[in-house]
Chains A and B, each alone.
Chain A
């Protein structure tokens, strides 16, 4: 007798993808200046989903001008509670159209429908609800008695959580009275374009939200635009550094949410079965395309073998395949380029002497796939312990004493996230004090909430997003 799960694919009939998309400027979909376009594909099948306009510098100009006009004439003059109403309306529409968003996100990104359905989309809507409530309470946001918006914000988001990152950016910006020009990632523009429709549906005043699609050149035009007051960026540390250089001395503010190499620290008194679950969600959630992933597992040496045995058993049960199947745990890698990067860094693990293990799992022929992988016997000196892989690859290191665990965890240019697993409360609190990371999870991992600030130390970025701290990043304080 075997209990094989039959295919349970989510229907795609709910989404209606146009053959071609223009830019969303001043409340309308418009053609881009040039005729240049690029394709967005489904990474699980390599099928082209749609043709996307490539915004040129002059298109960015138009978008910024629209945002500026909307800021000056409408949005900054509107009563705060009215702004809040628009955010509530957007949040409700996102909930009403949640399945449509979930299916579209899965098709465009390759992540499992279980995650878009249960995590990405509900959290995205939650961010709008949370910030809607703040719109008329900004005096309590921590920016003093006279909080003011920056003006026009340029926002650039990554491909790993397309709609969720859009929400992290747009909801606080709008709640605080800014207007935005947002550039979604090149490989995942579709949910941002659907969000543009939601803005229309909600009757949001024209120009408050503008969406320009394109590549790095488009992003660069946005960053360097003289009429942008603030840049909010989520993406790689390399690009983040470039942005910091570009805006130095211009008076533009910035929030940068960059890479990470999160340490997940397991002490010998951890609740082992839940620890295994936490390790799995720490590195295999969203194919490991998570800046705060627990990609470095630090295990107390006396429980290493037992933990790894249990971990391997659990990883063997991960269901890899069709992202639209409701039982899929691990979907497709977002792009051929990312797959190549994962393969390149991982192969350094082999050549530098770490021990690779993956369960037996058949990968689909078409599309971009990487099996869940762990490397044991990794040391701090290995590339796979230092560089962000951004894929389903876990590096396992050991430690002997609590202090050694902290030292190794902090021995990285990054400082975004960390996890601590122990049944001893005092040890958790002690470890949390020592760890240099923006987010520290205790006996859990990769849990997000709009009320909780998120951001990094060191090369993981500047500023915080979410919660009161994230709100403050969109406000100027002090005298008028």
Chain B
């Protein structure tokens, strides 16, 4: 977290924590060692709670779209329903089919889930509110998400079921195809921010509040990124790998119990992660529509005052999560409005439409950056 940015560093929990422990007589190294697991555990818990919220939202919004009520009896408004779902999956029998390849069958879901969770490393909730401000930030996420198809292929192959195998192959093909336009859309953003780090990308957008968000400068990139992110998450217009009518449940067909839960968890964590990254890349991340610095100035408060810092950090977290869940809401609505595409249409869309447009977007961004260095990152 060695941020040497010119902007105010904001709330730095790590420094405060280490200072406090040093006050108690610990060496700096030991204090840092005690700090290390804290953000990781916090983010892991946040990710899992995010999934529970997500499942509840999916059930309730889907119900509302179809004019049903949805879960109602488990807790007020059915908020405990996701817990019940989770418990059911935990207590189910874990079956490995007799002719399946036990080792690969177990390893597959793990390989799908781990990269997704690792990617939370780079998601910032504030200037210093992230696990690690890695220099290669967003690139790390792209490369980690490319490990997932291997897990999908693995579980598809080891299930010893032709639907599973086809589902795994489809999932991998889809993932590879949409990774390229996704990376090109990210590249345009990186070009404008002159940095791969997610913190720098957000800072570059927060000069003038909502007006300086990247979505105004990169509308095409935003649409490309969102489509590709949905395809990477296998959300409904693109859920071909598990298309029920064609493939039973794709690579998940033979899975039950906790191993199925890993896939389930992975797909929802991935959805929340993608939504968070869209908000980081295009919607100003933790930025309030009006910069908090301006608000503090109007109220005659110093930005570095402890109370203001706490309020800034809280607003940052709330804004990031709010933007992300707004996008999740749109993803759930899309699920019930857009029909599933066919596999050839899916690949056509990826290779013949999104890829050229993403390339043109990148070139136009480069040209605009040369022509108007003030507005496009110089």
**A and B associate in one complex:** no
Residues of A whose CB lies within 8 Å of any CB of B are none
